[in-house]
Amino acid sequence: MVVTVSENQRPSLVRQIAPAAVLTAAGVAFVSLLDNPNETGSVSLDFNAIAGRAAPTSLIPELEAPVVPAPEISTTLAPSPAMTVLAPATEPPAVQAAVACDGDLVASPTALFRWGGIQLQVHFTRSNAICDVAVLQYPADDSKSISINQRALPTYNAEVIAANSARISAVSGATDTWEAYTAALQAVIDSRS
């Protein structure tokens, strides 16, 4: 048995495509909502957030304008097994040269993101190398933010000093913090160029 469909019984092209287009748009909207429920995920620099202190990305005289530090971020390391290594008698003991932080002290603008803001203070050597980074402000509104930042910020500080740039790796679980941290740091670096 052969069934033939006449032209006036066949659905139009719009009736065939419209349901697929509507369902695709609804799916994209739903995935976008799940991916970022509150905001766009962007980081913005707030140049007005440093009320009562030196202008953002400006030199901070060490004697005239003391900087109030943020609460200390501490990390706890697991104890390592005791091990004694004896050097051969012919080698002098290894001494690492300490880098002198004898240059400018620069405060960043506050990098705002969906969890709060991050502001840094960067200390440079006279040769314009980054020798120290202090976090002046970071999100500490809830236990999750505190936990993430206590784990990530010391890592970011150490990586910046080692890399002497804002090109550092993100800590797993702290990507938003990394984006704000690197934006604040890059603003300081750009202000010195």
| Separation CA 77–CA 121 (nearest Å) | 25
Amino acid letter, 4: T
All structural domains of the chain: 41-74+99-191 (3.90.1010)
Specify the pLDDT at position 12. Answer: 77
pTM of the model: 0.55
Instruction: Confirm if 174 and 113 have CB atoms less than 8 A apart.
Output: no
128's tokens: 């314009």
pLDDT under 50 in the chain at which residues? 50-97
In angstroms, the Cα distances linking 161 to 93, 102, 127, 168, 187 are 25, 15, 14, 10, 16
Specify the pLDDT at position 120. Answer: 94
